[in-house]
Amino acid sequence: MLSAIILAAGKGTRMKSELPKVLHPVAGKAMVAHVIDAARGAGAAQIVVVYGHGGELLPERLRVDGTDLTFARQEVLNGTAKAVEAALPALRGECRDVLILCGDTPLVDQELLREFFEQHRQQGSVVSILSAQIDQPGSYGRIVRDGQGRVSGIVEARDATVGQRAINEVNSGIYAVQRSFLAEALPAVGSDNAQGEYYLPDIVSIAVARGLPVEALVTGDFTKTLGVNSRAELAQAGQLLYERTCRRLMDEGVSILDPRSTYIETDVQVGVDTVIYPNVYLEKGTRVGRNCLIRQGCTLIASSLGDGCTLKDGCYLEEASVGAHSSLGPYAHLRPQSVLAEEVKIGNFVEIKKATVGARSKASHLTYIGDATVGCDVNIGCGTITCNYDGFDKHVTVLEDGVFVGSDTQLVAPVRVGRNAMVAAGTTVTRDVPAESLVISRNEQKVVEGWATRFRRQKQKK
Ligand code: UD1
Ligand code: CA
């Protein structure tokens, strides 16, 4: 059985934030949540998250995420070795090897972890480190190798000599360790270093000193192990994640005009032959069907689009569902619980909330539909308003199949307009309307002939 320990107790001083570093969102999800997903995807049956800074906030935020999560509190934040030590009692009995990850490397993915862990098992090392070659090793720990190229230890940047600092092979902070060795080695880790902390990487030199096998697997893709310590690295990680998702979708047959300005979260699905324009945000598990066109500036949050839909510029959808071959916008707003059937047309400056709209119905301009049930083949004229709120409660409007609503209509809920009825333009509907009828509420029109001419003359004389 594979258990994973995720180190997430640190404050993240360089972020200059009230929020614990690993809770900062990257591409829509807390940094540490990406790491949890990768560990889970790699087959970890148990995941122990070590928390500390920020108190119970971290377990509170993450607990909803799954039953395979266990939390271990690190009381004193005195180094990564102590963080792992805090997690040991939580490990299940049958766990033989432990995958150790940092909560601040949101770009790791399950393939990399699986490959790394597989290699660790095959080589039978007591400690395996995932390392990376980078041009600017900065604050990463350096992998020190002996004359034969065997790993002899890891030295932190702050403790490194000038010569060691020039080493380009760095520690990603991802390890696979035999549990029995881990339990023996951790108490042997000291704190005689620049930060006075107990460094987890020291278990490597401990293993080497005991003549135990240690391996470093060099990853080909350094971006996957990027550690986020600052806001600049947070932005960089976000961009890389969005880029990766765009690449996956393009490989699957989605057209993205400008991947650099398209923000699609990792758990979003998009069907083939859909075309996405710039400045589009697809978030929180949004699903887009095949053959859709999403023009610039649209945001979809936890929403779904059927096949063949068109979203013109600037649409905003939240927890909404849109049937196939519908057309929205420009500038349409679908709020939570908006459910549109097929071939619906929603035009500019139309807001819909908690409403179902039947097939082929249309609201083309300047309209508010809230708390409503709209049937099929309903035409809603320009400037129609469902008056759903009396200051205390929300009330429902029902427009049955085939209803025609003229422009500038107010529907004062609760109210029902029966099948195929027609609402004359400018009407305020306050009572239910029977099927097949006309409803009209208007002052009778009065015409005073010649009045305008007389009025102008009078004014011009002055
Ligand atoms: C660490 C490694 C470094 C490696 C780098 C990779 C150590 C000493 N150094 O450096 O070799 O190149 O990661 O990104 O391990 N944490 C705790 N408790 C603590 C301290 C830290 O849980 O007492 C957690 C942090 O929340 C973080 C992770 O451990 O998620 C790494 O800590 P951080 O301070 O970011 O270490 P680095 O300096 O980046
Ligand atoms: Ca770090």
Hey, what are 103's tokens?
A: 């909560």
pLDDT at 151: 97
3-state secondary structure of 67: coil
Confidence of residue 399 (pLDDT cuts 50, 70, 90): very high
Residue 308 has pLDDT above 80, yes or no: yes
Q: Could you say which ligand is closest to the alpha carbon of residue 228?
A: 2
pLDDT at 1: 85
- Residue with CA at minimum distance from ligand 1 atom 22: 9
Residue 210 C-alpha to ligand 2 middle, in angstroms?
A: 28
Residues 6 or more apart in contact with residue 207 via CB below 8 angstroms: 126, 127, 181, 185, 213, 214
Rounded Cα distance between 295 and 314, Å, is: 8
Q: Is the CB of 200 under 6 A from ligand 1?
A: yes
For the CA of 229, the nearest atom of ligand 1: 35
Residue 239 C-alpha to ligand 2 middle, in angstroms?
A: 18
Q: Is the CB of 181 under 6 A from ligand 1?
A: no
One-letter amino acid of 329: G
Residue 59 has pLDDT above 80, yes or no: yes
Residue 431: closest CA among 398, 401, 407: 398
Rounded Cα distance between 153 and 147, Å, is: 13
Mutate to test the pocket of ligand 1, among 102, 140, 229 (most ligand atoms within 8 A of CB): 102
- Residue with CA at minimum distance from ligand 1 atom 37: 140
Residue 297 C-alpha to ligand 1 middle, in angstroms?
A: 38
CB 342, CB 306: distance < 8 Å: yes
Q: Is the CB of 227 under 6 A from ligand 1?
A: yes
Q: Is the CB of 241 under 6 A from ligand 1?
A: no
Rounded Cα distance between 127 and 98, Å, is: 10
DSSP string for residues in 371-384: EEEE-TT-EE-TT-
CB atoms within 10 A of CB 76: 10
Q: Is the CB of 265 under 6 A from ligand 1?
A: no
% residues pLDDT > 70 (the chain): 100
CB 387, CB 413: distance < 8 Å: yes
pLDDT at 64: 77
Q: Is the CB of 229 under 6 A from ligand 1?
A: yes
Confidence of residue 67 (pLDDT cuts 50, 70, 90): confident
pLDDT digits (tens, 9 = 90+) for 348-374: 999 999 999 999 999 999 999 999 999
Residue 229 C-alpha to ligand 2 middle, in angstroms?
A: 5
Q: Is the CB of 175 under 6 A from ligand 1?
A: no
Element (H, E) at 12: none
For the CA of 170, the nearest atom of ligand 1: 12
Confidence of residue 51 (pLDDT cuts 50, 70, 90): very high
Rounded Cα distance between 2 and 97, Å, is: 6
Residue 325 among the catalytic residues: no
